């Protein structure tokens, strides 16, 4: 951040601290925010040919924003990534404008580039079941196979993120439900199916390490916490055996949980709560149910739909 003035650098650090403290942003998010906004501030310094203190930053114009966007596009950045950078810059400017008392319209009115949202690709129900059967077979060690079964069952049976499953404490009680800490530190409670409880219990019984409260529930071979990459590797091996596409990842099991619930007539808002989504539109993108099936669910469930067929 050598091109950035001390005042702008201090403002950026204070904003990042606010994101950590007030919004409980994850470390990876903070790192991305810092890089995105620092890159923007550095560009403005070079664009204007002088150090951008808080005064010049408050006077950034629509033309300046267009120049930055054009410069970013020239690097070959994907529209989705540019939209993310612009979002970070806008968030910083909202905070800075409120603090310094200037009009941030030139920045906030800048339109993000259009991009086609990548819809998730869930596994078919038979493929999801096959994955839960074949993935644990990648290890001949009984406790490791039981561990992998438990992790994948939590992803597909409870809709957990891989980070949530692997972040579970060894003291977690798997009763009728379990409390999770999701993105942004948000808590939610999800039901635990008997098959998921049984899978976790089987793993606990076989695990050779002391699963005491305050330590990780799921362990690697040497006893340390299990990392996502290890589960990803197991699924990669299993999908090759099953002839499944590269989209068959741990996260795809979470997508499959949502999609298969909706296919069975589940309520979209209830699924939103189970997944921990802040926006219903996010849940809608998560579920890959075709229109014909949605109409079938409508026919069966809506009180005024009788006799449509």
Reported as a single tens digit per residue, the pLDDT across 154-176 is 888 888 888 888 989 999 888 88
pLDDT tens digits for range 5-30 = 888 889 999 999 988 877 667 778 88
Mean pLDDT score, 191-208: 91
**Mean pLDDT for all residues in the chain:** 82
pLDDT tens digits for range 218-257 = 999 999 999 999 999 999 999 999 998 888 888 888 888 7
Residue of 239, 254, 255, 260 marked active site: 254
Instruction: Look up 14 and say whether it is catalytic.
Output: no
List, as own/partner pairs, every contact residues 221-229 make where C-beta atoms lie below 8 angstroms and the sequence separation is at least 24, other chains included.
221/141, 221/144, 225/166, 226/147, 226/151, 226/166, 227/166, 228/162, 228/163, 228/166
- DSSP structure class, residue 179: E
Structural domains for the chain: 6-108 (1.10.150.130), 125-301 (1.10.443.10)
The pLDDT value recorded for residue 39 is 92
Instruction: Look up 286 and say whether it is catalytic.
Output: yes
Poorest-confidence range of 43-57, 144-158, 192-206? 43-57
pLDDT of 112 > 90? The answer is no
Give the phi and the psi of residue 189 in degrees, each rounded to 5. Answer: -115, 130
Instruction: Look up 23 and say whether it is catalytic.
Output: no
The pLDDT value recorded for residue 308 is 45
Residue of 85, 147, 161, 219 marked active site: 161
Residue of 85, 219, 251, 255 marked active site: 251
Q: 114-130 as b/e, with b when 16 or more CB fall inside 10 Å?
A: eeeeeebbbbeeebbeb
Instruction: Look up 161 and say whether it is catalytic.
Output: yes
Mean pLDDT score, 63-72: 93
Residue of 33, 93, 203, 286 marked active site: 286
Q: Which of the two residues, 131 and 157, has the higher pLDDT score?
A: 131
The pLDDT value recorded for residue 305 is 46
């Amino acid at each position: 951040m050598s091109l950035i003035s001390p005042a702008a650098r201090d403002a950026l650090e204070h904003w990042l601290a606010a994101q950590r403290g007030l919004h409980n942003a994850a470390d990876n998010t903070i790192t991305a925010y810092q890089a995105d906004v620092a890159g923007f501030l550095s560009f403005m310094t070079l664009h204007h040919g002088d150090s951008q203190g808080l005064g010049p930053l408050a006077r950034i114009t629509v033309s300046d924003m267009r120049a930055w966007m054009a410069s970013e596009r020239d690097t070959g950045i994907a529209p989705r990534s540019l939209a993310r950078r612009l979002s970070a810059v806008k968030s910083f400017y909202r905070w800075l404008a409120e603090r310094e008392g200037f009009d941030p319209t030139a920045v906030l009115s800048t339109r993000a580039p259009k991009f086609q949202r990548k819809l998730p690709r869930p596994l078919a129900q038979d493929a999801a079941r096959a994955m839960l059967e074949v993935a644990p077979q990648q290890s001949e060690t009984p406790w490791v196979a039981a561990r992998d079964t438990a992790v994948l069952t939590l992803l597909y049976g409870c809709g957990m993120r891989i980070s949530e499953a692997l972040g579970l404490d060894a003291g977690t009680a798997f009763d009728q439900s379990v409390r999770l800490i999701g993105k942004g530190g948000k808590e939610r409670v999800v039901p635990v199916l008997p098959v998921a409880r049984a899978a976790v219990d089987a793993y606990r019984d076989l695990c050779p390490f002391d699963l005491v409260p305050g330590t990780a529930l799921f362990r690697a071979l040497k006893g340390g916490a299990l990392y996502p990459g290890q589960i990803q590797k197991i699924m990669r091996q299993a999908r090759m055996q099953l002839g499944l596409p590269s989209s068959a990842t741990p996260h795809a099991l979470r997508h499959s949980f949502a999609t298969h619930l909706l296919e069975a007539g589940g309520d979209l808002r209830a699924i939103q709560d189970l997944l921990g989504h802040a926006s219903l539109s996010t849940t809608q993108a998560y579920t890959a149910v075709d229109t014909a099936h949605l109409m079938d669910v409508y026919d069966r469930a809506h009180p005024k739909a009788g006799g449509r067929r």
